[in-house]
Structure 1
C-alpha cells in the first residue's frame, strides 16, 4: 500500500481525487491551509469511502510544518493541487499569486527532495496554452498565458522541467485540466458555492437554487455555432481518475520522465449548450442575459486528449448530461456549500 501526499486535498478537484485514491486502497495524507475550502470535506470523504485521510492544516509556505509531515510519514508520491486559482482575482493581486503559488511549490519541491520523494503529479491547467494557439490544443504547443494565475502554471511547469533535467530521479506528470464540472454522484462533495469560483457550472447551479436571479453570459458574438464561447467540460470524477492513472505510470516506469497530458473530453460545448443540457437534467429554467465579452476570453478552447489515452490508458466516462445532473444533485442538497 502506497502513501500519497495530496496538497490542497480538501478543494474541489483535490477532494474528489482523495476519494478515488482511498477507493483504490492508497493511504492519503492531506495538507491544506483551508483558505478556499472547508474541513467538512473530510467528514464527507469518510461517508463516501468508509475510510479517512490523515489531515494537517498546513500552508506550503510553512517549511517547518511541511517538513514535519514528511518526517512523520513514508511518502511515496505527491499530488500537488494547492494554490490560489481565480483568474480574475489574480489580475488584482498578482504578487500574492506569484508568492503563494511559486514559493509554495519551490518549498514543496525542496522538502520532497530532502526526504527522497521524487514522484510528482502536478495540477496544471489549459490556461498554459494562452490565446495564440488554436483548438484542439496539443501538449507540444508553445506555452503562454493571459493572466497571472495562468503564468504561475507556466512558470511551475518550467521549474519542474528544470528540476528533472538537473536531477533525473524526478518523475513528473503535468496534468493540464480543461473545465472541471460536476460533483461526486453521492451529492456529498462538490464545488463549494461560497468559495471563489469562475466555473460556469457553479454559476448555473446558483441560479437554479435561487442564489442568483440570472446567469451572465459574456459574449454572444463569437465565431461559434451560437455565438457563445466554447469550452471543454470534464466531469471532476473523470479528472480525479486521471490522477490515479498518472500515479500508476510514475510507479511503473523504469526510465524516469517528465510528461504533460491534456485531461479533457476533446469536445467543445458552448455556454448555451451547457445551459440547455442543465435545464433538461435538473428540470429548472435558467434565465440568462448576454453581456459584452470579457477581456482575454477566447472563442474556443478544447483538448486533444489522445496522448493521455495512449500513454496513461485514460479516457472520459461521463457525458455533459451526467456532469449537469451531478452538479445539480450536489447544489440542491447543499445550497450553501459545506456551510449548508
Structure 2
C-alpha cells in the first residue's frame, strides 16, 4: 500500500509516517515546510531505517498534485496539511480558509482526477462547537465553532460529506482529535514550532530548557476545577497509531467519524505540575488574559474508535511528560540543534 501524507513533515504527520512505515506501507510525503523542517526525514530514517519519498510542494498547487498522482501509485491519502493555531486563526482568518478549505478542495479535485478516492482527514474536536456538552460524541451535530480554525475544519467536513453523497465510490474518515502532546520515545522527532509556541507542552518544555523565561497561562477564571482550561491530552504516538488503524475504515464507502482522545480532561495547571513532578525541572509561569477562541473544558468519548477500529489511547501521562522532555532536552532548538 502506498499512502500520500500531506503535511507529513509536521508534528503529527511525522509520527504517523514512522508508524505507517513500521507497519509496511510505502509513504510519499507532500509538505511546503511552512511550519516544519526537512531534517525530520533524516530523523525518521534514524528511527525506522527508511526515508519516505518527499515532495516539497503545496496542496493548493494542482500541477504538483497531478504530478504526484501520475508518478506514484497512490492507494489512499492522509491529509494533515493546513494551518492549526486557534489564536492565530482569529487574527488572519483568510489565510486559514485559503490553506485549509481551498487546499482541501484542490486536493480532492486532484484525487478524483486520479481515481484515488480514499481519504483520512485530520479534523478537530473544535467542530463540536462552543455549546456542545462533554464528553463529545460522534453522534453530536457539528456546532457553532468559536474560531476560524475550527470553522475551517467544520467546512471541510461538510465538503467531504457532500462529496461522498455525490459519489458513492469515495471513502472518507474524519478523525476528530483532541490535544496531542509528547514525542517519539527515541527523542529523535517531536514538536518543533516556529516562533512562540501556540500549544501548551512545547511552551512548557521550552521554558524548562531555558529557551523562554516563563510560561503564560491564558486565563485562570474559567469555570473549571482550578480556573484554567481543561483539555483531553493524548500521546502523539497514540494519535499516530489511530491513523494507521483508521486505514481499515477506508475499505468501506461513505463517511466514517471517530474521536481520538483519552476520555479524560486535565487542566493546564495540572499539566504544568505533572511535568515538574516527572522531570524534576521547575517551570515558572504567570497568568495572562484569556485567549480568543478558547473554550473552558472539553474531552472525548472515544469508545467508538475502540469498538470499530480496535484503537484506544494506551500511553500514560507520565510517558507523555518523559517523552516531551527527552525530545526537548536532546534538541533544545528543535531540529536546528
What SS is found at the alignment partner of 1:299?
A: coil
Q: What's the counterpart of residue 287 of structure 2?
A: 290
**Structure 1 position 145, deviation (Å):** 1.1
Distance in 2, matches of 1:196 and 1:113, equals 38
What SS is found at the alignment partner of 2:154?
A: helix
Q: What's the counterpart of residue 32 of structure 1?
A: 31
Ranges of 4+ aligned residues in structure 1 off by more than 3 Å: none
Task: Render the CA deviation track for 1:161-182: whole Å, top value 9, x for unaligned.
Answer: 0000000001111001100100
Question: Which residue among 255, 276, 279 is the counterpart of 2:276?
Answer: 279
Indicate the larger mover: 317-326 or 154-163. 317-326
**2:334 maps to 1:337:** yes
**2:260 maps to 1:263:** yes
**Structure 1 position 290, deviation (Å):** 2.3
What SS is found at the alignment partner of 1:260?
A: strand
**Structure 1 position 317, deviation (Å):** 1.1
Matches within 5 A, 1:54-69: 54-69=53-68
Cα separation, partners in 2 of 1:159 and 1:240, compared to 1, 3 Å: same
Distance in 2, matches of 1:296 and 1:288, equals 21
**Cα-Cα RMSD:** 1.2
Q: What's the counterpart of residue 74 of structure 2?
A: 75
Distance in 1, matches of 2:228 and 2:206, equals 20
**Structure 1 position 293, deviation (Å):** 2.5
Cα separation, partners in 2 of 1:161 and 1:300, compared to 1, 3 Å: same
Task: Render the CA deviation track for 1:3-61: whole Å, top value 9, x for unaligned.
Answer: 00000000000000000000001000001010110000110010000012000001111
Q: Is the 8 A contact 1:120 1:171 kept in 2?
A: yes
**Structure 1 position 195, deviation (Å):** 5.4
Q: What's the counterpart of residue 102 of structure 1?
A: 101
**Structure 1 position 216, deviation (Å):** 1.3
Show structure 1 runs of 5+ residues with no match: none
Q: What's the counterpart of residue 242 of structure 2?
A: 242
**Structure 1 position 295, deviation (Å):** 3.5
What SS is found at the alignment partner of 2:173?
A: strand
Distance in 1, matches of 2:204 and 2:193, equals 11
Q: Is the 8 A contact 1:208 1:286 kept in 2?
A: yes
What SS is found at the alignment partner of 1:6?
A: strand
What SS is found at the alignment partner of 1:294?
A: coil
What SS is found at the alignment partner of 2:133?
A: coil
Show structure 2 runs of 5+ residues with no match: none
Distance in 1, matches of 2:109 and 2:214, equals 47
Distance in 2, matches of 1:74 and 1:13, equals 24
Q: What's the counterpart of residue 302 of structure 1?
A: 299
Distance in 2, matches of 1:239 and 1:7, equals 16
TM-score normalised per structure 2? 0.97
Indicate the larger mover: 187-196 or 106-115. 187-196
Indicate the larger mover: 36-45 or 293-302. 293-302
Q: Is the 8 A contact 2:305 2:311 kept in 1?
A: yes
Matches within 5 A, 1:112-131: 112-131=111-130
Task: Render the CA deviation track for 1:212-235: whole Å, top value 9, x for unaligned.
Answer: 111111222222222211110010
Matches within 5 A, 1:123-272: 123-143=122-142, 144-194=144-194, 197-251=197-251, 253=252, 256-272=253-269
Distance in 1, matches of 2:197 and 2:254, equals 33
What SS is found at the alignment partner of 1:56?
A: strand
**Structure 1 position 193, deviation (Å):** 3.9
Cα separation, partners in 2 of 1:227 and 1:335, compared to 1, 3 Å: same
Q: Is the 8 A contact 2:11 2:191 kept in 1?
A: yes
What SS is found at the alignment partner of 1:5?
A: strand
What SS is found at the alignment partner of 1:234?
A: strand
Indicate the larger mover: 211-220 or 311-320. 211-220
Distance in 1, matches of 2:69 and 2:114, equals 7
